[in-house]
Structure formats: structure tokens, C-alpha cells
Chain A
Amino acid sequence: MIVAEQKPLDEIKGLIAEAEKVLVLGCGTCVTVCFAGGEKEAGILATSLRMASKIDGQPKDVTHTTVQRQCEWEYLDAVADQIREADIVVSVGCGIGVQAVVERFPEVWVVPGLNTSFMGLPTEQGVWEERCAACGSCILGLTGGICPIARCAKQLLNGPCGGSQNGVCEISKELPCAWQLIYDRLKSQNRLHLITQIQPPKDWSKSRDGGPRRITREDLRLAAEASE
């Protein structure tokens, strides 16, 4: 899932300072699961903004609503009236959600309520850890299902490095060495031969180095005559 966390309230107050009618727009997918921007969090933020604006002597009309997925325009259309009626929309979806609202409603001023952090999973209740860097060229099949791009500080393809001490990365005592994890996993599965293969330099053109990425599936696109 996409993991995010709410911006400090003062920062959000600054973003909406000029507006009187504010809509806090939640998202019912990833940010709901990571407790950053779902229905409950949108309600908490809207309530906090109402209270803060009253205390500051400039009460704002702050409401909130949540759609199933902000990153699909069809779901946004269901709350189009609420979006258009607001002076400003505080999206507590991920960065994709913010931009989806902007692209669908270009006339509306939209600001982010969250800092989108990473793609990861909850390792325990209340703890999320990064697992994927969306590098565009997955090598998990060679590394025992442990990603060195997301989990190794140096993104090494042939690790570990000299900074790995007793299974811990040199950058933090809290951070396990990804390549130690890979070694242990491959050893437990009798697949250590995989770690002896020297990996060539990674093709980063499929990652951010290649600019914004786009995937097109012609078989899924609507025929031109049908979409008209």
C-alpha cells in the first residue's frame, strides 16, 4: 500500500489561510489502511481545523467527505458538487489523489493534507515499513523475495557491503542489513548459488531516471469509435 502521514496542523492551516469554505477530502483505500487519510482521519482533521479557526477568531466552514478511491475520476465525480462548492479542497489522499482531483477539477484549488511517504506494509499494529521503490525492473526472484533497492541504504545489487555488521546496517542500529536478510533467506532455502551470480548494473531508465512513466495496454483501451 501507499503509506503517508498527516502534515503538521500549522502547515495545513497556512495552506488554507485564505479560504472560508474548506472541504477535507479523504480516500478510502491505501491511506485509510495506514490511518492517515481515511474517513476517521478526515473527520479528525476537519474537526481540528474548525476548532483551530474558532480559537484563532476566524471561524471557517470546514466539512469532510471520503471517496472510495481518489485516484480514479469516477469516484471523484460522485462528490463533484461538494468539491466545486468549496473555496479550497484539502486532499488527505496520497499525492496521486491530490493530482487526480486537480486534473478532474482544474478550476478548484486543491492542497495536500498528507506527506506521501513510501510503498510498504504494516509490520505490526501502528508500524509501517518500506518494501518497494517502484524501480520498474523487479529482481525479487533473485534475492529471495527481499528487495535490496528498497531496503538496502546503498541499493546494492551485489551485497552486502563493508557497512554490514552483525546483520545490522551501518546507518542505523534499528535497520537490518538487507543483504544479510537475503543471504539468510537464500541459505534457508538452499539457493545460495543465486547470491554468487554477479548482477550487472541496473537499468535505471525504467525508474525515475527515465522521467515520468506511463504504461499503455492497447487491449484494454476503449476503441476510438466507442469512446466518442
Chain B
Amino acid sequence: MRAGQGYRGYISSRTFGGERAPQHIQNLVVRSYCNELGIPFRLSATEVAMPGTYIMLDQMLEEIDTVAGLVFYSIQQLPEDEAHRARITSVVLGAGREIHFAVERLLLKTPSDELRINDLLGVSAILPYTLKVDECQWKFEDA
């Protein structure tokens, strides 16, 4: 770990993965995660509200050499597009850095971590098209 450089937080001002968390709660979760792991936390960057826009993340990637890594609030903040995610991963891993995801307690540090996260996001993207618990019960009652 590059303790002197710290880990930059990354929170969002828009919904992601169908969920919304207030920014101060996102910051609490990120800070608590860093404390638990004993990794030095630097202030969070807050992504802008416009959907599909990653201005702040792009800037953090530009400055990736100045930090030990990034700490996202959630993997759901990653772009939906897998190729876009691959470019982010390439920049971070190429610089010898890592990304933590506080809610999921996941670490992206190796190509196998990338596969794990792609599986999670791939399945997550399909779940809205599957039945919910209450819809199943409704169907049973109706049968």
C-alpha cells in the first residue's frame, strides 16, 4: 500500500443500480470502510448528476498516479457498458493501483477480480427482467 498517497473516495449525486443513497451516507460508508481496512482516506469526488456522465471519474483516472487507489461507494457506480468498464480497469491496473467497493467490500486489483465484478453487474442487469417475490406470490394465488 502507498500509505502516503491515500485512497480517493468516489460517491455519486445520481441514482445507480435503481438505488439512491444520500451523499453524506455514501461518504460515511466509504470512510468507515477505509477505517476498517486501515487504509488512508482522501476526500471523495462526487460524480455529476447527468446520467451516463463520468467527468469526475475521468479526472480521477487522469490523476491515478497521485493516489494509492480509489474507493467507490458501490460497484453500481461503474458504467453499464462493459467496454467502458474495461478501459477504466485497464487504466487503474495498468498504473498498479486498485479500486475498492465499500458496499460490496470487493477489491478490483487483478483480472480475475474484473471477471467477478463483470459477473455481478451482468446478472444485476438482467434481474429487472425477472420476477420479484411479490409477483411470484400473486401468480401463485391467481393460479
Verify that A and B bind, or say they do not.
Answer: no
